[in-house]
Amino acid sequence: MPVTLALDTATPFLTLALAWEGGTLEISREVGRAHAERLADATRELFGEAGLPFRADTLVIGTGPGSYTGVRVGASYALGLGRVWSAPVLGVSTLEGLVQGSGRQAVSQDARKGNVYSAVYDAQGGVVQQTVEPVAKREATEFTATLNGLPHHQDTAPSGLSLLRAGLAHGVREWQLAYL
């Protein structure tokens, strides 16, 4: 199995994951707005902890929605590594990193001023299989009122392994960033 690196800097968390033939490893640390200062060292530390050389065959990037600077920091870093390593950079929504387990579920992140960026997904094993409601900016109370008891994962740290699996399952090469 080739080495895959996933990263997300769209939220206040720095989220990273690695998958390789010998296993998987992920970290998620709350860094506020210090993604630029911490991303490179944290990525190298992750490879070191895994006992792998600093090289991946595929990269997965969480494309937001999220902070303008945070999203751009992660995308720039991933694109730079992808170019150096001659590796594709696949994009998936940061909201897919909030998916947990299996079944229909709602996910959301604060979009300020009483709004959320949200989506509803059908998932299997932590990977989105179908988008029921696409990512959109919605009024928070209206979105919550439509859930009818649906599991709702909100404002949590994205899972790097969820992003990684989503990227390998259906990540796109022609992606766009989404900002708050």
What would the pLDDT profile of 13-57 be if each residue is shown by its tens digit?
Answer: 999 999 999 999 999 999 999 999 999 999 999 999 999 999 999
| Number of other CB atoms surrounding residue 160 within 10 Å | 28
CB-facing half-sphere around the CA of 57: CA atoms within 13 A: 7
Four-CA torsion 180, 159, 177, 71, nearest 10 degrees? 70
Give the Cβ contact number of residue 176 at 10 Å.
Answer: 9
Nearest one of 84, 140, 92, 132 to 113, comparing CA atoms: 140
pLDDT digits (tens, 9 = 90+) for 56-113: 999 999 999 998 899 999 999 999 999 999 999 999 999 999 999 999 999 999 999 9
pTM score above 0.85: yes
For the sheet containing 13-20, what is the strand order?
23-30, 13-20, 4-8, 58-62, 89-92
Sheet holding 127-139, edge to edge: 127-139, 115-124, 103-112, 152-154
Model pLDDT for residues 144-173, shown as the tens digit of each residue: 999 999 999 999 999 999 999 999 999 999
Beta strands (DSSP E) in the chain are 4-8, 13-20, 23-30, 58-62, 89-92, 103-112, 115-124, 127-139, 152-154
Interhelix angle 68-85/35-50, nearest 10 degrees: 40
